[in-house]
């Protein structure tokens, strides 16, 4: 017997937190009855439906996508915009993006149908590091780079410490390229951090997610994670070290 929200997450319906909301909102039925208690436990013999659709347990799958600019990180869009799922039509499982990269940001994006894995990769308490390369307008001062490193005040709170390195300065175009590594995943966080120091981002790419990069992929291409890579990511979330 397992908790209902865990079963929903493992089946790829949503992250465990979102699965809890589905239950509380009365959108989940077990054996034909609406269930709204989070402590409810179910077995393999139970029939579960979410918003009228019966749950079928899929084999968990894990992909790394080199997301190009011009796609949104969601399963579907009510405005008809292209989504990252459109890039992988050959995948039969009901996958969803692990966290998000905004419309104009490219780089490493994980896709899965495993809600528990998604939770491990995205919750700030597990401190999974993500490295970005940002081209910015203006040349950040040493003082401003220090602000990014130690934490900067945004409208939704102070950011956690970051690793920051300015790699290129172009005085002719008044621009710079800065590498920044963070473990949080707030909405448009990197862009807002640079806005806060007066150096707006003109181009942004997530170069690395934990120990994963886009090496070997062209923009728009995806590959399955290896069993070893999946194990490494789980160990990293649980111990803070690559297994």
> Could you give the residue numbers annotated as active site?
102
Strand partners, 223: 64
| Straight-line distance from the first to the last Cα atom of the chain, in angstroms, rounded to the nearest whole number | 30
CB environment 4-22: b (16+ within 10 A), e (fewer):
bbbbbbbbbbbbbebbbeb
Task: Count the alpha carbons within 13 Å of 20 in the hemisphere toward its beta carbon.
Answer: 7
Rounded to an integer, what distance in angstroms lies between the CA atom of residue 148 and that of residue 190? 10
Rounded to an integer, what distance in angstroms lies between the CA atom of residue 162 and that of residue 175? 21
Say if strands 41-42 and 62-67 run parallel, antiparallel, or are unpaired.
unpaired
């Amino acid at each position: 017997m397992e908790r209902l929200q865990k079963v929903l997450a493992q089946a790829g319906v949503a992250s465990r937190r979102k699965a809890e909301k589905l239950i509380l909102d009365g959108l989940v039925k077990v054996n034909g009855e609406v269930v709204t208690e989070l402590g409810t436990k179910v077995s393999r013999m139970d029939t579960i439906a979410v918003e009228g659709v019966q749950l079928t347990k899929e084999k968990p799958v894990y992909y790394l996508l080199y997301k190009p600019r011009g796609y949104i990180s969601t399963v579907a869009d009510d405005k008809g915009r292209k989504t990252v799922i459109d890039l992988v039509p050959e995948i039969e499982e009901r996958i969803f993006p692990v966290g998000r990269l905004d419309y104009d940001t490219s780089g490493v994006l994980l896709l899965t149908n495993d809600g528990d894995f998604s939770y491990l990769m995205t919750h700030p308490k597990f401190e999974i590091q993500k490295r970005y390369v940002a081209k910015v307008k203006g040349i950040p001062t040493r003082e401003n780079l220090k602000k990014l490193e130690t934490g900067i005040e945004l409208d939704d709170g102070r950011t956690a410490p970051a690793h920051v390195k300015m790699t290129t300065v172009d005085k002719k175009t008044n621009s710079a390229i800065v590498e920044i590594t963070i473990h949080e995943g707030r909405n448009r966080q990197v862009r807002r951090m640079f806005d806060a120091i007066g150096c707006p981002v003109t181009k942004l790419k997530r170069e690395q997610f934990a120990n994963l990069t886009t090496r070997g992929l062209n923009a728009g291409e995806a590959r399955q994670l290896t069993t070893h890579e999946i194990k490494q990511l789980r160990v990293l979330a649980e111990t803070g070290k690559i297994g």
